[in-house]
Copies of this chain bind each other. A is one copy, B any other.
Amino acid sequence: MTAVQHTSGKRVNRLSHINTSAGDLLNKLEAVRLVCQETGCAQRYLTHDALNAIAQVSARIDDARGSTEHTARFQEYLHRMQDQDLTLGVAMTDAKGDRSRRPHEQANVDSYLHVVERSARGIVISGTKAIVTGAPYVHELLVMPCRNMEREDADFAVCCAVPLDAPGLTIVARPAGRPGEKLEHGEALFSRKYGQSTGVCIFDKVFVPWERVFYAGEWEHSGHLTYSYATHHRHSCIGARAGFGDLLIGAGALMCEANGFDPGKESHLREQMVELITITESFFACGVAASVYGKADAHCEVFMPDPVFSNIGKLLLATKIYDMHRIAHYVSGGLIVTLPGPDEDHNPETAARLSDVLRANPAIPYEQRIETARFIEDLTAGYQGGWYSVISLHGGGSPAAMKQEIWRNYPVGSKVELVECILERGIAADGSPAAAPHDPARAITRNRQPGRCCDTGCTTPGQP
């Protein structure tokens, strides 16, 4: 759970560490899974994802300018926050307004966060970040752009750190979980403790001193910053949802037991449990492969997971979490939404009788059966479960975004050439009319240009 930060030599929390090897990526992936096994979804990894992306873009800006200033400024901030072991939120998704217009074209300029003033001391920013996970209970917010920017959008290209108590910052948030309800009903044992809150952050002329500004105006780097963050983040999501999968696997097996069934003997239950395992471990495997085929940034030592495998893993978990819910319900039976609620547990009129007739496996007390059922309800059939599924589907980008990235990064060109070679050889051997040798100029397939890999002859995406 810790690692040595290469720029400072200090041992730091792995979830605020900058990766410099494939091993770092794999360790981070496992660390996230472990934390999420306990918590359902530990948002601490957002800190990691953003810091690694900012490290990469800082080096790129410095390389483009021939300076070292951005990297130095970022490292100073990084070491300070690592020493204090801060949790940082990611304020990325702007309110966006009319989707058909670019940031500078919006009717309401606050639809995207932007710089309203620059001085020797720092910048002043205004605008709305619409979906900020954990906003009310982090130490600071990392403000980041959420899209490509063009020259006219330069004022909207800003990345900086803002403490939560900065003057001018207002956070409008739903309560984490449904606390009112919980106190009354004694339910939702898990989400009561680990429920999440997402906030809308309204910045109204918030001042940020230069030492906390990582870029402001360098619009041409926005796309890469977004891409790097998304790749790190999708990789982390894989570990997170694998931890969630572990909770469902364990709870599902417990529930079978409490219902009096052994999946080892009841093949229809085993089929379901194996499907749950297969879903969980197959998207986790994509995280492992993304680590193994990770590569150092061309501009610095930061290691980034392979984008194809990261996006595939995220795409799988995003769409299959609904199947995970289905399986958890299948193996549990209908009782997770039908049995009496906790307010009946102590009802002197009925508690003893219910407790006797509603046990199913004579070896398991009713209390364990009902607690396990409520745990599964909490994870999959109430507001917490709804949050998990929607955030898996859309958090870190929608499925459509994943697919775009997979297509953009996949070496289709090298596969096309492979088949062209086979066809040419085969036809030559056959004496058939020779297909014209492939003329790359006529290719219309967009990323048909040689893939990343084919020059060095490797066969797997992302391998050096």
On whether A350 and B172 interact (CB within 8 A), knowing A181-B181, A330-B393, the answer reads yes
- Looking at chain A, what size class is its interface with the partner chain? 35 or more
On whether A26 and B337 interact (CB within 8 A), knowing A246-B459, A274-B406, A309-B281, the answer reads no
On whether A254 and B420 interact (CB within 8 A), knowing A174-B341, A285-B286, the answer reads yes
Task: Give the chain B neighbours of A383 by CB distance below 8 A.
Answer: 337, 381-383
Task: Give the chain B neighbours of A175 by CB distance below 8 A.
Answer: 341
Q: What residue in chain B is nearest A243 (Cβ atoms)?
A: B459
Judge if A436 is at the interface, Cβ distance under 8 Å.
Answer: yes
Instruction: Tell me whether A189 and B430 are in contact (CB under 8 A).
Output: yes
Task: Give the chain B neighbours of A181 by CB distance below 8 A.
Answer: 178, 180-181
Task: Give the chain B neighbours of A111 by CB distance below 8 A.
Answer: 357
Other-chain contact of A381, B38, B189, B387, B430 (Cβ < 8 Å) = B387
Instruction: Tell me whether A445 and B268 are in contact (CB under 8 A).
Output: no
Q: What residue in chain B is nearest A180 (Cβ atoms)?
A: B184
Instruction: Tell me whether A363 and B430 are in contact (CB under 8 A).
Output: no
On whether A110 and B357 interact (CB within 8 A), knowing A263-B446, A289-B284, A292-B292, the answer reads yes
Instruction: Tell me whether B403 and A271 are in contact (CB under 8 A).
Output: yes
Task: Give chain A's interface secondary structure class.
Answer: helix
Give CA–CA (A446, B313) in the complex, Å: 30
Q: What residue in chain B is nearest A93 (Cβ atoms)?
A: B334
Instruction: Tell me whether A264 and B445 are in contact (CB under 8 A).
Output: yes
Judge if A119 is at the interface, Cβ distance under 8 Å.
Answer: no
**A and B contact pairs by CB, cutoff 8 A, 9 listed:** A95-B357, A96-B360, A99-B260, A100-B260, A190-B422, A250-B412, A257-B443, A325-B389, A371-B435
A98 to chain B, nearest CB (A): 6
